[in-house]
Amino acid sequence: MNPQRTRRRGPALENAILDAAWDVLVEHGYHGLTYEAVAARAHTSRPVLYRRWPTRDDLLLATITRYRAAQPVEIPDTGDLRADAIGFLRNADAGLTGMITLISVQLMDYFRDTGTNFTTLRDALGSPTPTPCEIIVARAVARGDLPDVPRSRRLLNLPFDLFRHDVLMTLRPLPAHSLTEIVDEIWLPLLRR
């Protein structure tokens, strides 16, 4: 280990380890989340980890929990439906891709074992109602930019579903043109129909 580095203690050390664990998790997945790899990444040693998190699941849970306090996705309010929609997808693309990837990689085994699924988890975590897409449409209706007619949940949440689908398929952030394509070629024509 680098002799220059000061010896860390308490919360400073703990946070550094969990940050390292998050990096390893995003980079190599659950299978790569070994005590060895995390200790190396955090520039510490395995016994330090074992003293705090006796099992790998403890370490995983602590890592995810620490990042649960992460940034919420902002819903822009520009006064323009298209700008709101694309802006929201852009924010989600920047902030949510890692989390979606993580969940898809990490929790599938849990889903398999418990017989639950994404939807179950989202409901258990307290589903945000209304969803961001529904908020954006409601604002457009209030401005008179869209007719005030009933719309199905599928139509309302279509852009985010397509966004999530593409992220799950590629496990990467989406290029900007995919976001505008979803809004311009799919969602807006259906909303304005």
Partner DNA sequence: GCCTCAAGATACGTGAATGTTTCTTAGGGC
Partner DNA sequence: GCCCTAAGAAACATTCACGTATCTTGAGGC
Q: Name the residues that contact DNA, by CB under 7 A.
A: 1, 5-10, 13, 32, 34-37, 43-48, 50-51, 54-56
Is 96 a binding residue for its own copies by CB under 8 A? The answer is no
Q: Which does 37 bind (CB under 5 to 8 A by kind): DNA, its own copies, none?
A: DNA
61 binds its own copies per the rule CB under 8 A: no
Six-digit token string for 6: 């000061």
Q: What's the min distance (Å) between Cβ of 9 and DNA? A: 4
101-120 residues near its own copies, rule: CB under 8 A: 104-106, 108-109, 111-113, 117-119
Question: Of 57, 68, 62, 72, whose CA–CA distance to 42 is shortest?
Answer: 62
152 contact choice in DNA, its own copies, none (CB below 5 to 8 Å, kind-dependent): its own copies
Question: With CB cut-offs between 5 and 8 Å by kind, which of DNA, its own copies, none does residue 41 bind?
Answer: none
- Site map 28..57 versus its own copies, x via CB under 8 A: xxxxx-------------------------
3-class SS letters over the chain:
CCCCCCCCCHHHHHHHHHHHHHHHHHHHHHHHCCHHHHHHHCCCCHHHHHHHCCCHHHHHHHHHHHHHCCCCCCCCCCCCHHHHHHHHHHHHHHHCHHHHHHHHHHCHHHHHHHCCCHHHHHHHCCCCCCCHHHHHHHHHHHHCCCCCCCCCHHHHCHHHHHHHHHHHHHCCCCCHHHHHHHHHHHHHHHHCC
What's the CA gap between 58 and 56, in Å, rounded? 5
Span near its own copies by CB under 8 A; candidates 37-45, 89-97, 133-141, 184-192: 184-192
User: Could you say whether residue 176 binds its own copies (CB under 8 A)?
Assistant: no
Residue ranges binding its own copies (CB under 8 A): 28-32, 104-106, 108-109, 111-113, 117-119, 152, 154-155, 158, 161-162, 164-165, 168-172, 181-182, 185-186, 189-190, 193
